[in-house]
Amino acid sequence: MADDGLDTIPSGTAVHRPSPETLPRGGVDALPERDLGARLEEARRRTLWLVEPVCDEDLDRVHDTLLSPLAWDLGHIAAFSDLWVARATGRDPLRPDLFEVYDAEETPRAQRGDLPYLRCAEARTHLADVHELALEGLEHADLSNPEDPLNAGGFVWEMLVEHEHQHNETMLQTLQIAPPGVLRREPEHPPAHGGGAAQGETVLVEGGPFLMGAGPEAGFSYDNERPEHQVPVPSFEIDRAPVSNGAYLEFVEEGGYSRREWWSEEGWAWRSAFGAERPGYWTPDGRVRAFDRAEALRPELPVMHVSFFEAEAYARSRGKRLPSEAEWEKTATWDPRAGAKRRWPWGEERPTPERATLDQRPMGPAAAGGLPGGASAYGVLGLVGDAWEWTTSEFRGYPGFRAFPYREYSETHFGRGHRVLRGGSWATRPDAVRSTFRSWDLPQRRQVFVGFRCAA
């Protein structure tokens, strides 16, 4: 899962250097109004806000073997920053002795409870120490030298911001999987819970080549989003809205979990071994638990915490299938009238709560298809935010892929059976998702805030 190559690239080893054409333009360059130092500060405020109501024992303990202790995430954010600030500034890291403990590749999540990771008080101190070093390093960094790919365009500094954002979402997954009571928090900006819309409606996306991935003008992107490349996408139909709890409940009530014919072989094996009968966090008495509350199922919300196998079975039961990631990205970015790609489904402007439910503070998704402001050129709703969406695509490199700045972010996960997730969730920070952003997880996993939409 999370791997940062903290230990796998010994210091002094040259980082992978992409050719100038594949070099991304970082946040500063592309978005001059957004100050990286302020964003590092803001990212840190959010991390501390997330754990603020959680007691020390709950930060230090393993709540579920799928996920790390929250204190591990805190120490890992600090160690990752220590490593990359050192590389970008040429200074010595503060605590190289910690790199091994926080190397996600070396230590799978299930074993992280046994490590000598910093307990939360020490982790907070290390976070603060490295943060100071990062801000100072950034102040003296030259972001304009194309010969220095870590600093050019602010790449590494943007990566630190997005890395912290990504771990914030993982931390929310941990807080959700933990027993009720670990996180007590009222939503600060509850999402719009109006009626859902467009359930079961589809649109036709005409066939034709499509430019997939992040181009050099797109601002910061990860190596796995590059290079931009043409893919042929034959005509397909896609649902206007993600599948709702209400629609999924019908599948459950029709005996969806015992109709072998709706499941793939692998999916059925998983269902049988795991004993799945309903999505994660649905209670047998028809409620849904979110953090410390279990409330009556809201049929209008997008279904979440389903595995790829469950999503696939639902789609098959409706005579449909899941979209590929090329189909998803075309739906989200292509404007057939303009013959051009958009930055976001709705256009060029940044996300707002009217366009997409993101940024954690809603503490849950809005109704499926409930935000007309987020409609893509095809009129497809809810592509960004609310819940990640499973695609059929296995996580692999695009043609011409080059690892940068470390193999363990993407490359070591290629071809290992992970499926690509698209679009982000309510728990994703807006700067940690783009229309070209690719996340991934194993098809049996349900801890992610993930749902799906169907295609045909």
Binding ligand AVJ (rule: CB under 6 A), the pick from 4, 58, 223, 310 is 4
CB of 15 to ligand AVJ, least distance (A): 16
- 3-state DSSP assignment of residue 7: coil
Residue closer to ligand AVJ by CB (options 165, 278) is: 165
Between 60 and 105, name the residue whose CB sits nearer to Fe ion: 105
Find all residues with CB under 8 Å of 423, minimum gap 6, and list them.
328, 332, 383, 384, 385, 387, 388, 389, 433
How many whole angstroms separate alpha carbon 446 and alpha carbon 89? 39
Least distance to Fe ion from the beta carbon of 287, Å?
33
Which of residues 236 and 409 has its CB atom nearest to ligand AVJ in the complex? Answer: 409
Judged by CB under 6 A, does residue 447 bind ligand AVJ?
no
Report how many residues bind ligand AVJ under the rule CB under 6 A.
Answer: 10
State which residue, 39 or 271, has the beta carbon closest to ligand AVJ. Answer: 39
Q: How far is it between the farthest Cα atoms of the chain?
A: 63
Asked whether position 166 contacts ligand AVJ by CB under 6 A, the answer is yes
Shortest distance, position 87 Cβ to ligand AVJ, whole Å:
16
Q: Which does 440 bind (CB under 5 to 8 A by kind): Fe ion, ligand AVJ, none?
A: ligand AVJ
* One of 163, 278, 422, 446 touching ligand AVJ (CB under 6 A): 163
Q: What is the binding site for Fe ion (CB under 5 A)?
A: 2, 4
Phi-psi domain of 218 (left: phi exceeds 0; alpha: psi -120 through 50; beta: other): alpha
Q: Which helix (H) or strand (E) holds 170?
A: helix 155-177
| Interface stretch with ligand AVJ, choices 165-173, 227-235, 278-286, 332-340 (CB under 6 A) | 165-173
Q: Is 440 in the site for ligand AVJ (CB under 6 A)?
A: yes
- 140, amino acid identity: H
Instruction: Look at residue 290 and give its three-state secondary structure.
Output: strand
439 binds, among Fe ion, ligand AVJ, none (CB under 5 to 8 A by kind): ligand AVJ
169 phi, psi to nearest 5 deg:
-70, -40
Which of 33, 15, 11 is CA-nearest to residue 96?
Answer: 11
3 vs 239, which CB is nearer to ligand AVJ?
A: 3
Query: Which tokens is 244 given?
Result: 């709702």
Is residue 391 within the footprint of ligand AVJ (CB under 6 A)? no
Binders of ligand AVJ among residues 169 to 208 (CB under 6 A) are: 170
Residue 392 or 439: the one with the smaller Cβ distance to ligand AVJ is 439
Considering CB distances under 5 to 8 angstroms, the limit depending on partner class, which of ligand AVJ, Fe ion, none binds residue 1? ligand AVJ
Task: In whole angstroms, give the CA distance from residue 356 to residue 299.
Answer: 19
For residues 229 and 275, the answer to whether their CB atoms sit within 8 Å is no
User: Count of alpha carbons within 13 Å of 23, Cβ hemisphere only?
Assistant: 21
Tell me the closest approach of the beta carbon of residue 42 to Fe ion, in angstroms.
19
List Cα–Cα distances, 417 to 76, 400, 451, in angstroms.
Answer: 26, 20, 19
Which partner from the list Fe ion, ligand AVJ, none does 168 bind, CB cut-off 5 to 8 Å by kind? none
Task: Work out how close the CB of 170 gets to Fe ion at its nearest, in angstroms, rounded to a whole number.
Answer: 8
Strand 450-451 with 388-394, pairing = parallel
Span interacting with ligand AVJ, options 109-117, 159-167, 248-256, 363-371, rule CB under 6 A: 159-167
Q: Whose structure tokens read 């679009």?
A: 423
What is d(CA 66, CA 54) in angstroms, rounded to the nearest whole number?
A: 19
Task: List b or e across 317-333, with b for residues whose CB sees 16 or more CB atoms inside 10 angstroms.
Answer: bbebbbbbbbbbbbbbb
Binding partner selected for residue 435 from Fe ion, ligand AVJ, none, CB under the kind-specific 5 to 8 Å limit? none
Q: Is 98 near ligand AVJ (CB under 6 A)?
A: no
* List of residues contacting ligand AVJ (CB under 6 A): 1-2, 4, 163, 166-167, 170, 409, 439-440
